[in-house]
Amino acid sequence: MILEVLHPDGARTRHRLDVLPLTVGRGLGNGLVLDDPYVDARHARIVFDEAGAPRVEDLGSVNGLVEDGARHAGAIAVTPGAEVRIGRTTLRFRDSDEPVPPALVDHNAVPPPRRADLHPAGARVAAGARGRRPRAVEVLSRLVATTPGRLVIAAAAVGAFAVHSWLGSYERSSASGMFASALVVAIGVAIWAGIWSVASRASVQRFNFVGHVGVASAVVLAGLGWSVLDEWSSFIAPDAGIWSVLWVVVGFALAAALIAGHLALASTMTRRRQWRAAAIVAASLWAVGMLAELAEDDEFSDVPTFSGVVKPVGASWLPMATIDDFGEVMLELKESVDGLAEK
């Protein structure tokens, strides 16, 4: 039998249950040491019963043994598939013969080393080549996983806002606006990450502040990128319906990514549950937003909204309409306001 330990921080370790009894607890003298503040120094013991089947015994711990959400006094007999919670750690028992799906074929696999690679210098080259190989996504996920990487993303977000503000300013004092914009982003991200850090401390005993800063910065950066892209698209193809659809999709994706990213650091949920929670929150946010927009759409206003974005791009690059095409637009508008007048 295999003992799978799900630690409160999401980590997972596995132990072969060959030699029993095995003591479990926070004390370093135990056979299995758990860094869980809700676990006693000597919390439980796993032993074989008379029939040779394993069982978990409580050693008089504060929080006891929990199975299926109910606390058990004394001992619990375990079979493969059983889960026993002690403190905030889950002990899952599995059969060592449990079947697993076949391995996936890795299309990016490194080809088998050639003879020359066996030379020490060649080996270093190969290692270097292997380091460069991962796709952009992998690089990014690796970047997000390290403290320097997260700080780089945060700096990139602040820098991007500063540059964006500078390019969008047309006053003499553009430097102060640039500084102010960078500061607002930095403070905003810090406050947001701070709130999540406190939540993390409460649920997984770690602040993970830099991690949360990294997640928030990455999403803020992506949001800025999207808004720039959106401006350009509305310049190049004005009034194209596809952009409003994309707005919904991208906005939803960004909100979900933000929440899932934070949950990954602040909870012991599985990946799937993180995304599910994030999707639910994002969907409800968007539902509220869409309802508000719909309500606004119906409201009377004597101030028009139109896409008045102009961009510095050679006119020869742009798809251009003729005056007759514009006439069609006028006709569509007429039908639209005729509809409004009839209401």
Cα 213 from Cα 192, distance rounded (Å): 8
Site for other proteins in 163-182 (CB under 8 A): 166-172, 174
Question: Is residue 241 part of the contact set for other proteins (CB under 8 A)?
Answer: no
Cα 74 from Cα 78, distance rounded (Å): 13
Phi and psi at 16, nearest 5°, equal: -85, 130
For residues 288 to 307, the per-residue mask of contacts with other proteins, x marking binding by CB under 8 A and - elsewhere, is -----------xxxxxxxxx
How many Cα atoms occupy the beta-carbon half-sphere of 108 within 13 Å? 8
Looking at 36-44, 114-122, 260-268, 323-331, which segment touches other proteins (CB under 8 A)? 323-331
Site for other proteins in 177-236 (CB under 8 A): 235-236
For residues 119 to 158, the per-residue mask of contacts with other proteins, x marking binding by CB under 8 A and - elsewhere, is ----------------------------------------
Nearest-approach distance from CB 183 to other proteins, in angstroms: 20
* Partners of 57 in the β-ladder: 45, 75
b/e map 137-152, b = 16+ CB within 10 Å: eeeeeeebeeeebbee
Residue identified by tokens 């135990």 is 30
Q: Are strands 22-25 and 32-33 parallel, antiparallel or unpaired?
A: parallel
Looking at 25-33, 57-65, 162-170, 210-218, which segment touches other proteins (CB under 8 A)? 162-170
In the list 70, 294, 295, 337, the residue contacting other proteins (rule: CB under 8 A) is 337
Nearest-approach distance from CB 342 to other proteins, in angstroms: 9
CB of 98 or CB of 338, closer to other proteins: 338
Q: Compute how many residues bind other proteins; rule: CB under 8 A.
A: 48
Q: Are strands 44-48 and 22-25 parallel, antiparallel or unpaired?
A: antiparallel
Cα 279 from Cα 249, distance rounded (Å): 12
Q: Which residues in this chain contact other proteins in the complex, by CB under 8 A?
A: 166-172, 174, 235-236, 238-239, 299-312, 314-315, 318-323, 325-327, 329-334, 336-338, 340-341
